[in-house]
Amino acid sequence: MSETPSTDLPPLGASEFQALRGLVLRETGVSLTDSKRMLVQTRLGRRVKALGLSSFAHYVELLEGPSAGDEYDQFVGAITTHTTHFWREAHHFDELRDRVLAPALKAGQRKLRIWCAASSTGEEPWCLAMTVADVLGSDLGRWDVRILATDIDHASLEKGSRAVYQYEVIEEHPKSKQYFLKGVGPRSGEVRIRDSLRSLVTFRRMNLIEPDWAPKAKFDAIFIRNVLIYFSPEAQLAVVSRLATFMADGAIMVLGHAESMVGTRAGLRAAGRGVFLKDTRP
């Protein structure tokens, strides 16, 4: 990652980095290695300056003090990585189609529950919705489909639910064009997901390392991609093991390509690149 270091502030010292790293780990499960010091300095430097503070030490004091308040949300949003794009690791959506949607259609199931557990700015859950719409076609309205999109970061969730992206998205992915409305006038550089898909996805804040989440449903597919890499090995295992308890019979869990070993460690059965099944064999 190459971000330009912030200027005009004293550099982030070792003890402040240590304090911030402890807060990040406690709040998000994200484990920052020593090599991330410059990245933290850059990302939080903007926040420190926006608050009119003169040093990282003052920022640590603020976060540790009684008036931290909403700054925690800003801190978490600034420190976590939200990189994502439409049709990232596209083969995973084919797996959803072949392993979940096609069998459900064949069995006349009529109900689908999908969870995107680190949805960032929405590209991933919208691709899930487009995949469902592609497979169900004109039957979509007769199905009970719900896609839960969760993330720790309020700003990302807000962008996801707004569902507005740059026009280039439909140039890069012409097959997805039918699911977007084009902006007009001053909004001609933008596209928005059509309402027929928007009604399928619910965005909700959820911190994966907090123990109090418990969605009511069992899910046919759980996508948890490119977030576990930031967690400690213990947190990775705890999160995946917990998510596995929300898998319906025959469900898949999908992990990012750098995270697959966590699925196996959690006792799931590998079924292809990043795709896991609940192992129900005796």
Q: Which residues are at the interface with ligand SAM (CB under 6 A)?
A: 28-30, 80-84, 88, 118, 120, 124, 151-153, 156, 207-209, 225-227, 256
Determine phi and psi for 278, rounding to 5 degrees. -75, 130
Nearer to ligand SAM, 226 or 236 (CB): 226
CA distance 202 to 198: 8
Minimum CB separation of residue 10 from ligand SAM in Å reads 28
- CA 141, distance to chain mean position in Å, is 27
Minimum CB separation of residue 170 from ligand SAM in Å reads 19
The answer to whether 12 and 40 have CB atoms below 8 angstroms apart is: yes
Nearer to ligand SAM, 169 or 209 (CB): 209
Of 21, 37, 43, 47, which residue is the catalytic one? 43
Determine whether 139 is an active site residue.
no
Minimum CB separation of residue 94 from ligand SAM in Å reads 16
Determine phi and psi for 14, rounding to 5 degrees. -60, -40
CA distance 203 to 57: 35
Nearer to ligand SAM, 135 or 208 (CB): 208
Of 47, 151, 220, 225, which residue is the catalytic one? 151
Minimum CB separation of residue 208 from ligand SAM in Å reads 4
Minimum CB separation of residue 218 from ligand SAM in Å reads 20
Task: Measure the CA dihedral 153/156/157/158, to 10°.
Answer: 120
With the C-alpha atoms ordered 117, 258, 78, 159, is the resulting torsion angle positive or negative?
A: negative
Query: Given the DSSP bridges, would you call strands 219-224 and 144-151 parallel, antiparallel or unpaired?
Result: unpaired
Which of 235, 225, 241, 227 is closest to 273 using CA atoms?
225
Determine whether 43 is an active site residue.
yes
Q: Which residue is nearest to ligand SAM (CB)?
A: 84
Minimum CB separation of residue 217 from ligand SAM in Å reads 18
Nearer to ligand SAM, 95 or 124 (CB): 124
Nearer to ligand SAM, 28 or 74 (CB): 28
Which residues touch 94 (CB under 8 Å, ≥6 apart)?
none
CA distance 202 to 206: 12
The answer to whether 207 and 156 have CB atoms below 8 angstroms apart is: no
Which of 280, 278, 279, 275 is closest to 96 using CA atoms?
275
Nearer to ligand SAM, 92 or 99 (CB): 92
Write out the catalytic residue numbers: 43, 151
